[in-house]
Amino acid sequence: MPYIEHDPTNSHTFKTHLLKSKRILALCGAGLSASSGLATFRGAGGLWRTHDAMSLATPQAFVKDPSLVWQFYSARRQAAFSAKPNAAHLALAALSVKNKDFITVTQNVDGLSPRAGHPPEQLYPVHGALSTVKCTSVFCSYTEYNNFKMALTPALGPTRAPADADTQPANIPLNELPFCPKCKIGMMRPGVVWFNETLPNDLLEGIDEWIDQGPIDLCLVIGTTGKVWPAAGYIEICKEKGARVAVINMEINDDPHLGGVNNADWLFKGDCAQILPDILQPIIGSMEEVRELLGDMDKFPATTTSGGPVTDINNATTGEETVERTGEGTGYY
């Protein structure tokens, strides 16, 4: 634990600084959703039916065994869509409403932050979303957003899951897995960023633009190991821009290499859903006031789509039947 002149668990000094802070960045990880019943990816939930969850989150795993990967992600979708936003999600959403110069960079794909009412223009889900699915064909760019179906195909329904958590998943035939409804050729894949894939440029550019606008007063590191790059780099960047750092995590004393600890001005160990509403109270008010501010935001938005099969412009016709090129495909991965 770093040397800190004041008590790092003193919420009074934090709240005093919070009230003076104008530009705030929060970096969030799986611990934010722990109280919603979602296991952390690397923690106790690191195994899924005897498989290492991290080994299933790769393009190579999807190519090798799409049945296994889709069953894993279907289970994650069902868990996320059944969960409810907790008080930590609500507290951050309220802070966003109260402070338009506050942004949240989240590594979570569960979609609980937007369901809590977090303004989308202040939320950067850099690892994608489980509710997004997209075609893998290089000749198609079809994508579905806000797809909250519990089962994308009958074979991926909850009733097909093994009763015993240690039982190996069934080998689902390829024709029973999700395929693109537009091109009819490419298999659909989860719209999350897998290991060995790059983060979305538009989101990274948006974060960089916000960072470049001026000094940063406060960085909140919430429920994340702070070890996954480039997201982890935002802690140091905020520090260089003048920010003081508060780490909120269950594992502060258990992991000496926890991201942000070496830069921390405050260390709050415990459940994010209990700590965040308390330390942000000077700005967001009580949880009763937060719920009144946000209203009933936990509604699933309608599904939207974009893209489709890439049209050969050499075969395009003229007049009313002209077909426009919809853009390059997303690539097999």
Tell me the pLDDT tens digit for each residue of 91-133.
Answer: 999 999 999 999 999 999 999 999 999 999 999 999 999 999 9
The Cα–Cα gap between 319 and 69 comes to 44
Question: Residue 268 corresponds to which amino acid?
Answer: F
Judge whether 28 is annotated as a binding position.
no
Query: Of 102-116, 222-236, 259-273, which one has max mean pLDDT?
Result: 102-116
CA dist list (Å): 135 to 173, 180, 203, 282, 307: 18, 6, 21, 46, 10
pLDDT for the residue numbered 310: 83
Whether 165 and 254 share a structural domain: no
Tell me the pLDDT tens digit for each residue of 143-189.
Answer: 999 999 999 999 998 755 554 555 677 899 999 999 999 999 999 99
Per-residue confidence band for 322, with pLDDT thresholds at 50, 70 and 90: very low
Percent of the chain with pLDDT over 90: 69
Q: Is the pLDDT of residue 281 over 90?
A: yes
CA dist list (Å): 224 to 33, 51, 288, 292, 308: 11, 22, 27, 29, 36
Q: Is the pLDDT of residue 231 over 70?
A: yes
Active-site residue list = 127
Count other Cβ atoms within 10 Å, centred on residue 163: 5
pLDDT for the residue numbered 251: 78
Q: Is residue 307 part of a domain?
A: no
Whether 5 and 69 share a structural domain: no
Q: Is the pLDDT of residue 20 over 70?
A: yes
Q: Is the pLDDT of residue 295 over 50?
A: yes
The range of the structural domain enclosing residue 78 comes to 39-82+128-192
Q: Which of 169, 192, 215 is the last residue of a domain?
A: 192
Whether 105 and 145 share a structural domain: no
CB burial of residue 23 (10 Å; 0-12, 13-18, 19+): buried
Whether 174 and 279 share a structural domain: no
Q: Is the pLDDT of residue 3 over 60?
A: no
pLDDT for the residue numbered 151: 94
Judge whether 219 is annotated as a binding position.
no
Judge whether 180 is annotated as a binding position.
yes
Q: Is the pLDDT of residue 5 over 50?
A: no
Q: Is residue 294 part of a domain?
A: yes
Per-residue confidence band for 252, with pLDDT thresholds at 50, 70 and 90: confident
Beta strand spans in 143-186 (E): 143-145
Q: Is residue 310 part of a domain?
A: no
Residue 216: which CATH number?
3.40.50.1220
Per-residue confidence band for 6, with pLDDT thresholds at 50, 70 and 90: very low
Whether 33 and 164 share a structural domain: no
Per-residue confidence band for 222, with pLDDT thresholds at 50, 70 and 90: very high
Whether 67 and 56 share a structural domain: yes
Whether 3 and 109 share a structural domain: yes
CA dist list (Å): 158 to 50, 114, 153: 18, 25, 11
Whether 260 and 297 share a structural domain: yes
Whether 282 and 188 share a structural domain: no
Q: Is residue 46 part of a domain?
A: yes
Whether 174 and 236 share a structural domain: no
pLDDT for the residue numbered 314: 37
Query: Of 30-44, 130-144, 247-261, which one has max mean pLDDT?
Result: 130-144
pLDDT for the residue numbered 50: 65
Q: Is residue 317 part of a domain?
A: no
Per-residue confidence band for 89, with pLDDT thresholds at 50, 70 and 90: very high
Tell me the pLDDT tens digit for each residue of 58-81.
Answer: 999 999 999 999 999 999 999 999
* pTM, to two decimals: 0.86
Whether 29 and 16 share a structural domain: yes
pLDDT for the residue numbered 54: 80
Helix or strand holding residue 115 (H, E): helix 112-115
Whether 113 and 102 share a structural domain: yes
Q: How many domains does the chain have?
A: 2
